[in-house]
Amino acid sequence: MSDQRSLQQSKAMFTTLAAAWASRCAASPEHPFLIENNVAMSYTEVDAKCQQFGAFFHQYHLTQSDLVVIQMPTSTVAIQLIITCFKLQIPVMPISMRIAGKELDDLLRKIAPRLVILANLQSQAQVTANTDYTGVTLVNDAVTVPGFLRQTESAPIPTDVAAILLTSGTTGVAKGVMLTAENIIYSETQFAQTFRLDTTDRLLLTLPLNHAIGFHHGIVTTILTGSTCVIQPEYDPAACLALIQQQHCTYLLAVPTIVYDLFNQTEEPRFLKQIICGGSPIANRLLNAAIHHEVPVYNVFGTTECVPFVCTTPAYYQAKNGKTTAGFPVAGVTVRLINTHGVKTMKPYCSGEILVKGPVVFKGYYRNVTATTHVLDADGWFHTGDLGHYNLDGALKVDGRKNDIIMRGGEKISARKIEKEIIGYSKVQQASAIGVKDGRLGERIGICVIVKPHETVSLPELKNYLAVQHVSKRYWPERLFICESFPMTDSGKVKKRVLREQVDVDNGKNNLN
């Protein structure tokens, strides 16, 4: 099928997520959609729950220009609420369970959602203290869900926006990525076609719904294919493996850490038909383990702003005997590499910034025109900030971020944020955060410090300081390196590549247990 024909067919399928959901309920009314705690719910049963939630949305006069924020663990209830938003064409924003305190308060003031639904009791207290919101209750015949309704007017959401997902905030404050129904439906149609997913498939979903993989591939792909989503609310490798066997799951969406854990849990071959992996690079060690277990691990690459746009196809994976993470753009999407001078490059092994154009590219950042114009140019190209190169086959391999991040277990963690917190400690003169290679997580957080004269610093001491400062544990260093100086550029910036090399030489193995 040509790219143009594929594009036309995807656009012709559905114009809204509401239409996609209605079509699936009509086509597969009794087919199991969600399974949680061994309880299966059909598409029709889930739709009935959504109808009940929808009645409360109407009661509170929510419209298509409002925004609903949902902070709940991955569960049937959370998915029902998201689909309720799909049905009513109300923009939805699932957010991480880790967002709390001042970070949550700042987010609500910036995003100004009309309705906030929270499962975290501490977060509920935080919203209750915010005078812009009053408590409301959403009920169906199974659960009662507390919510908070904004009383003051907020900026309307563009009418074609179906969802807003937060970026990981690797270079500062997280941004709200506005995604249209076309963005979501097109990307998931291509995703399902690439990996040949259909009604016979059963997905094990362990990732949170605010994660692009969990939201797009977990919810929307399942709906489009009429398949089944098996929910594992709390991640545990042994429990995941048991659930795969008990519920006869055929595939898994994962970050490398989860795949690493599962392969360590069993020697059983072919326990899944396939694993589709994103979030961070897949190490050679993991590819070899996949070959050993006879479970293909396909790499997908995308960003919150366009999910996904490059995939390791099954055909290419097989041609390379399972030893590749390179891939090709999905049908209808164009990818370009540009060098530091902004010139397009096609040469093999010549690194450049990855640019993307096509129906998967987001609409813009919510209430942030400056950030939008910085990454979306006048010709519609999205400048991802990621670096990559082509191999001799013309397949694209991702090299890493232009910006400075640490990829820990599939999560992008801002090195700058860590450094900012550590430098506040009175004994530290300079600090530079780096990723320390780790077989399981990909990277752990390393902190290189220059201490002030006549001072000493230990890792427990730094962690205690961060705890007192109420810094989230996601930013706590796991390895400490004491340095006399840092390699610097002429402009006064740390040469982190050189610093990493020095740390390797001075400290030996970086793999942590």
| CATH number, residue 489 | 3.30.300.30
Q: Which of 33, 35, 79, 32 is nearest to 230 (CA)?
A: 35
Digit-coded pLDDT (tens) for 22-59: 999 999 999 999 999 999 999 999 999 999 999 999 99
Digit-coded pLDDT (tens) for 300-338: 999 999 999 999 999 999 999 999 999 999 999 999 999
Q: Where does 120-228 have alpha helices with state H?
A: 121-128, 181-194, 212, 221-225
Digit-coded pLDDT (tens) for 434-480: 999 888 898 999 999 999 889 999 999 999 999 999 999 999 999 99
Confidence of residue 491 (pLDDT cuts 50, 70, 90): very low
Last residue of a domain, one of 159, 192, 226: 159
Q: Which range of residues forms the domain containing residue 503?
A: 405-507
pLDDT at position 505 is 52
- Using only C-alpha atoms, the chain has a radius of gyration, in whole angstroms, of 23
Query: Is 451 within a domain?
Result: yes
pLDDT at position 127 is 76
Last residue of a domain, one of 108, 126, 159: 159
pLDDT at position 8 is 45
Query: Is 232 within a domain?
Result: no
Q: Please say if the pLDDT value at position 192 is more than 90.
A: yes
Query: Is 501 within a domain?
Result: yes
Q: Please say if the pLDDT value at position 252 is more than 80.
A: yes
Looking at the structure of the chain, the number of domains it has is 2
Q: What is the mean pLDDT of residues 485-506?
A: 71
Q: Which of 206, 13, 40, 270 is nearest to 21 (CA)?
A: 13
First to last CA, the chain: 47
Mean pLDDT is lowest, of 19-33, 52-66, 280-294, 349-363, for: 280-294
Query: Is 372 within a domain?
Result: no
Tell me the pLDDT of the chain averaged across its residues: 89
**Bridge-partner residues for 447, per DSSP?**
433, 480
> How would you label 78-110 residue by residue, b for 16+ Cβ within 10 Å and e otherwise?
bbbbbbbbbbbbbbbbbbbbebbeebbbebbee
CB–CB of 35/243 below 8 Å? Answer: no
Q: Please say if the pLDDT value at position 506 is more than 60.
A: no
Q: What is the mean pLDDT of residues 496-508?
A: 71
Measured between alpha carbons, how far is 210 from 216 in angstroms, rounded to an integer? 9
Digit-coded pLDDT (tens) for 406-422: 889 988 787 878 988 99
Query: Is 112 within a domain?
Result: yes
Query: Is 148 within a domain?
Result: yes
Name the percent of the chain lying above pLDDT 90: 65
Q: Please say if the pLDDT value at position 170 is more than 50.
A: no
pLDDT at position 512 is 31
Query: Is 24 within a domain?
Result: no
Q: Which of 104, 80, 242, 124 is nearest to 174 (CA)?
A: 104
pLDDT at position 173 is 63
Measured between alpha carbons, how far is 287 from 259 in angstroms, rounded to an integer? 10
Q: Which residue has the higher pLDDT, 500 or 490?
A: 500
Give pTM, 2 decimals. Answer: 0.81
Measured between alpha carbons, how far is 309 from 354 in angstroms, rounded to an integer? 11
Digit-coded pLDDT (tens) for 363-410: 999 999 999 999 999 999 999 988 889 999 999 998 767 777 888 998
**105: part of which helix (H) or strand (E)?**
helix 101-111
3-state secondary structure of 239: helix
Cα distances (angstroms) measured from residue 217 to each of 195, 213, 221, 254, 444: 11, 5, 5, 11, 27
Digit-coded pLDDT (tens) for 49-88: 999 999 999 999 999 999 999 999 999 999 999 999 999 9
Confidence of residue 4 (pLDDT cuts 50, 70, 90): very low
Q: Which residue has the higher pLDDT, 84 or 128?
A: 84
Q: What is the mean pLDDT of residues 202-231?
A: 95
Q: Please say if the pLDDT value at position 184 is more than 50.
A: yes
Query: Is 434 within a domain?
Result: yes
Q: Please say if the pLDDT value at position 510 is more than 50.
A: no
pLDDT at position 262 is 94
CB–CB of 90/57 below 8 Å? Answer: yes
Dihedral class, residue 238 (left if φ above 0, else alpha if ψ from -120 to 50, else beta): alpha
Last residue of a domain, one of 159, 178, 203: 159
Q: Please say if the pLDDT value at position 7 is more than 80.
A: no
* Number of residues assigned to the chain: 513
Q: What is the CATH number of the domain that holds 101?
A: 3.40.50.980
Confidence of residue 354 (pLDDT cuts 50, 70, 90): very high
Q: Please say if the pLDDT value at position 1 is more than 70.
A: no
Q: Which residue has the higher pLDDT, 147 or 513?
A: 147
pLDDT at position 179 is 98
